[in-house]
Structure 1
Amino acid sequence: MARDTTDARPIESRDELVAWIAEGAKPREKWRLGTEHEKFGFRKADHAPVPYEGPRGIRAVLDGMEGLLGWEPIHDEDNIIGLADPVGGGAISLEPGGQFELSGAPVETLHQTCSETFAHLAQVREIAEPLGLGFLGLGASPKWTRAETPVMPKSRYRIMANYMPKVGTKGLDMMFRTSTVQVNLDFGSEADMVKKMRVSLALQPVATALFANSPFLEGKPNGFLSFRSEVWRDTDRARTGMLPFAFEAGFGYEAYVDWALDIPMYFVKRGATYHDATHVTFRQFLDGALKNEIPGVEPEIGDWTNHLGTLFPEVRLKRYIEQRGADAGPWRRLLALPALWVGLLYDEGVLDEAWELVKGWSAEERQAMRDGVPRQALKTPFRDGTVLDVARDVVALAKKGLARRNMFATCGAAPLAENETVYLAPLEEIVATGETLAEVLLRKFHGEWGGNIEPVFEEYAY
């Protein structure tokens, strides 16, 4: 989850909010990709979750990373809750249950993402191993109850945790027991944004199916292949979902802004203080709704950027486009997610082919696919076949897009003189076998693991 910002420029009109998003458009030569991934910390001795405090806690990991990297600490009151790279633009932050997140810097190629990810995981191991800690790549914590899960000392999370049960039944599970991998991508114009948003929204359930990796909860199968995705179906209907209005005629920056304006806020931040604002929408805030409650407060651009970061649709628009449908997983899958979307969206011809693939789908078909993939993943029925049939076409299109980019380098497991298509290998294996990682895990659980969840902490740790 992104770092909360402060920008004191006053908001004079709705048009400024539209312009703020529009300013994100970039010429093709300036397009970048930024990958974010979360992971669960655990104690190696007993596979218990890692508290914030203590000599072997999350705070100790952050302190160690600060010393190792020289990054600037981010504080909430007296607590260190993240680190920011003052040069490269990357950051480390904490999710509510202690999930450790890298928000990667904007880079030009997947090879750079590979190097960044490889280095980050090595750095985390360097700090965590002497503390007896490990980190796990799954979409949902496989063992701990919500009561056993630690709570990180971030002010915004106190507000969110109080609000979530009012608007859905699974919001606290989302906060404390899920992990994801995301990629942020650029757009060149309003028309380019519209096409990329539509393709991304239509195909997001396919990505969810391909990356399904959260079949366990509290030590046993939970009935889903992507429990993390199921959680989002009942977190907060106002700020989540497939955004059917994005497919309506006239969709653009203004339509997204108008949707965002009518969603309740979480907070207003002034200085180091977070003020609960869950009872007003951003439009009401613009109309003066909080003036009497927070003396002197006026809407600022920083409030708008923070508000956009508290909206959780399947694909999120800010000054870039965020792909939000995938479970966290083993490190090669952390690279496969940006490879999929860069391949689909950054070659104009492939983007057009992807649009041709999805443009005839109805809102009902898109929603049915979204509702089906948490439980059935690639086996979800779709038209005359299954999501697997669509996934084969999608992975092939992504490979074509990456081949046309034809960018070469080497990284960790990527052989010398390979272009970016090498990072699609995990997805090519999935569409060839039809078996998601979640199904592999379930097969092991019922087979060689003998119904015991503990081996997951050995086999799927970073």
Structure 2
Amino acid sequence: MSNPGTSNSATIENRAQLVEVLERGSKPRSEWKIGTEHEKFGFVLPGQDDGRTPLSAPPYEPKGIGALLRKLEGPDWAPIHDGEALIGLAGQNSQKGRSISLEPAGQFELSGAPVVSLQETQSEMQEHFDLIRGPAAELGLGFLPFGFQPLWARDEMPWMPKSRYAIMRSYMPKVGTLGLDMMTRTCTVQVNLDFGDEADMARKMRVSLALQPLATALFANSPFVEGKANGFLSNRARIWTDTDNQRSGQPSLFFAEDFSFEKYVDWALDVPMYFVARDGKNIDASGCSFRRWLEGSAQPALDGLTPTIGDFEDHLTTVFPDVRLKQFLEMRGADAGRPEMMVAQSALWVGLFYDAATLEAAEKLVLEQPWEVYQQLRADVPAKGMQADFPGGLKALAKRVVALAEQGLRARVRNEAQFLDPLHLIADGGPNQAEYWLALYEGAWGGNVKPLFREASI
């Protein structure tokens, strides 16, 4: 989840203002960019002589995630605080447009700057890994980009001193059984992409929401829980099936022909809030919808508070559909994984979205099946991956989709098609990341998951 930012304090006078929040994202094609965000788990490196357990989760303090943030702080990285706690860094100077934030259990996230090319995406990712590797090693820490924490139990995970997470921690068990696992034991990679206008946004929403389960299968990378294989290829995706279904998944109205900014606003207004930020503090508003607050029937904690545009913008960051609409579209279906796979995830969606002819062809492709087929696919792929049932076969769909993405990338100014190479291998029948690690676990590793921390760390 992103760091707190400067909030728009304008009072909400009418619904049109909320629609305008999303409309402001519309951009001419010449201004379309690529923004990639990726998360990773910290872990204590073997060989430390200070009593820490090798491969355990680092705390915030001491010699943990907070200390790493302080080591990175400097001319290029300005501190972000929640009360007295350092909870993120805002990029400036050479890092302008980027930010570093903490997920609830200290998962370390880079939100990349909007860039023009996938080559820049790749360079930015590698630069970030290079940036943190030395300071982390000085603290005896390593990092693992993986979809679900493969070793530790939920109660072994630390909690970061970020006040919104305390509110969510209390609320999650009321609305699902796996929300605390989502908060503490999952990592994802997402790409944020632009749209030209409302019609372009709606088309991209329908295509990407339908194909998000395919992305989950292609990028599945979380087959282990507490040191054992648990029968899922993307346990991260399974977690999202029972986290908070009021705010997540594939809402049917997103597929509708008349889907619009206004309809997304209406949907978001009925999703319960987590918090309202005032004077540097987060007020617990959990369970109260934004609509109820606007109508004046909110819970007592919000008495006397006037809803602002900034409050609604904050609320939009706390809804979690598989494709999230802000002033861009966020693709949210993939597990974190190997660097080349995380860049491939950006490449897949850039190829499908940023060439008009390719997007039109992708829309025709997904319309071959009713939306219910893709909703069922979402339920099936966490366990079955590329073997999930789909008319004509999911691998056949993958081949067609990846071929379209390659077509779209070849239509761009730079030659970026090579970034899809890992996906071609999977579509042609090769193992996805989860299957690759499972083969090692069941073979050379002898049922021991700990070598993963050596083989998959950045």
Shorter-chain TM band: over 0.9
1:414 corresponds to: none
Q: Report how far residue 294 of structure 1 moved.
A: 3.7
Identity of aligned residues (%): 52
Instruction: Read off the aligned partner of 2:274 and give its amino acid letter.
Output: Y
- RMSD of the TM alignment (CA)? 1.2
Q: Report how far residue 158 of structure 1 moved.
A: 0.4
Q: Report how far residue 23 of structure 1 moved.
A: 1.1
Alignment size in residue pairs: 448
Query: For 2:228 and 2:436, how far apart are their aligned partners in 1?
Result: 14
Instruction: Give the secondary structure class of the aligned counterpart of 2:450.
Output: coil
Q: Report how far residue 293 of structure 1 moved.
A: 3.0
Preserved contact between residue 283 and residue 301 of structure 2 (Cα < 8 Å): no
Query: For 2:67 and 2:281, how far apart are their aligned partners in 1?
Result: 25
Query: For 2:166 and 2:230, how far apart are their aligned partners in 1?
Result: 27
The alignment status of 1:453 with 2:454, answered yes or no, reads no
Query: For 2:3 and 2:338, how far apart are their aligned partners in 1?
Result: 25
2:2 corresponds to: 2
Q: Report how far residue 139 of structure 1 moved.
A: 0.2
Superposition map of 1:399-410 within 5 A: 399-407=406-414
Q: Report how far residue 193 of structure 1 moved.
A: 0.3
Q: Report how far residue 249 of structure 1 moved.
A: 3.2
2:85 corresponds to: 79
Query: For 1:255 and 1:160, how far apart are their aligned partners in 2?
Result: 26
1:345 corresponds to: 353
TM-score with structure 1 setting the length? 0.95
Instruction: Read off the aligned partner of 2:69 and give its amino acid letter.
Output: L
Instruction: Read off the aligned partner of 2:451 and give its amino acid letter.
Output: P
Q: Report how far residue 73 of structure 1 moved.
A: 0.6
Q: Report how far residue 279 of structure 1 moved.
A: 2.6
Instruction: Read off the aligned partner of 1:428 and give its amino acid letter.
Output: H
1:433 corresponds to: 429
The alignment status of 1:422 with 2:418, answered yes or no, reads yes
Superposition map of 1:38-53 within 5 A: 38-45=39-46, 46-53=54-61
Query: For 1:425 and 1:291, how far apart are their aligned partners in 2?
Result: 52
Q: Report how far residue 292 of structure 1 moved.
A: 4.9
Instruction: Read off the aligned partner of 1:83 and give its amino acid letter.
Output: L
- Long gaps (5+) in structure 2: 47-53
Preserved contact between residue 209 and residue 377 of structure 1 (Cα < 8 Å): yes
2:310 corresponds to: 302
Query: For 2:318 and 2:279, how far apart are their aligned partners in 1?
Result: 19
Preserved contact between residue 288 and residue 299 of structure 2 (Cα < 8 Å): no
The alignment status of 1:237 with 2:245, answered yes or no, reads yes
Deviations 1:252-300 (A, max 9, x none): 1111111001110000000211001113101011112348534531001
Instruction: Give the secondary structure class of the aligned counterpart of 2:189.
Output: strand
Instruction: Read off the aligned partner of 2:92 and give its amino acid letter.
Output: P
2:49 corresponds to: none
1:410 corresponds to: none
Query: For 1:71 and 1:434, how far apart are their aligned partners in 2?
Result: 41
Instruction: Give the secondary structure class of the aligned counterpart of 1:10.
Output: coil
Preserved contact between residue 146 and residue 335 of structure 2 (Cα < 8 Å): yes
Moved more, 321-330 or 124-133: 124-133
Instruction: Give the secondary structure class of the aligned counterpart of 1:443.
Output: helix
Preserved contact between residue 21 and residue 327 of structure 2 (Cα < 8 Å): yes
TM-score with structure 2 setting the length? 0.96
Query: For 1:160 and 1:360, how far apart are their aligned partners in 2?
Result: 39
Superposition map of 1:167-178 within 5 A: 167-178=175-186
Preserved contact between residue 388 and residue 434 of structure 1 (Cα < 8 Å): no
Preserved contact between residue 21 and residue 318 of structure 1 (Cα < 8 Å): yes
1:122 aligns with one of 92, 111, 130: 130
Superposition map of 1:174-323 within 5 A: 174-290=182-298, 292-323=300-331
Query: For 2:146 and 2:282, how far apart are their aligned partners in 1?
Result: 31
1:20 corresponds to: 21
1:416 corresponds to: none
Q: Report how far residue 359 of structure 1 moved.
A: 1.4
Instruction: Give the secondary structure class of the aligned counterpart of 1:405.
Output: coil
Preserved contact between residue 35 and residue 338 of structure 1 (Cα < 8 Å): yes
Instruction: Read off the aligned partner of 2:408 and give its amino acid letter.
Output: G
The alignment status of 1:60 with 2:64, answered yes or no, reads no
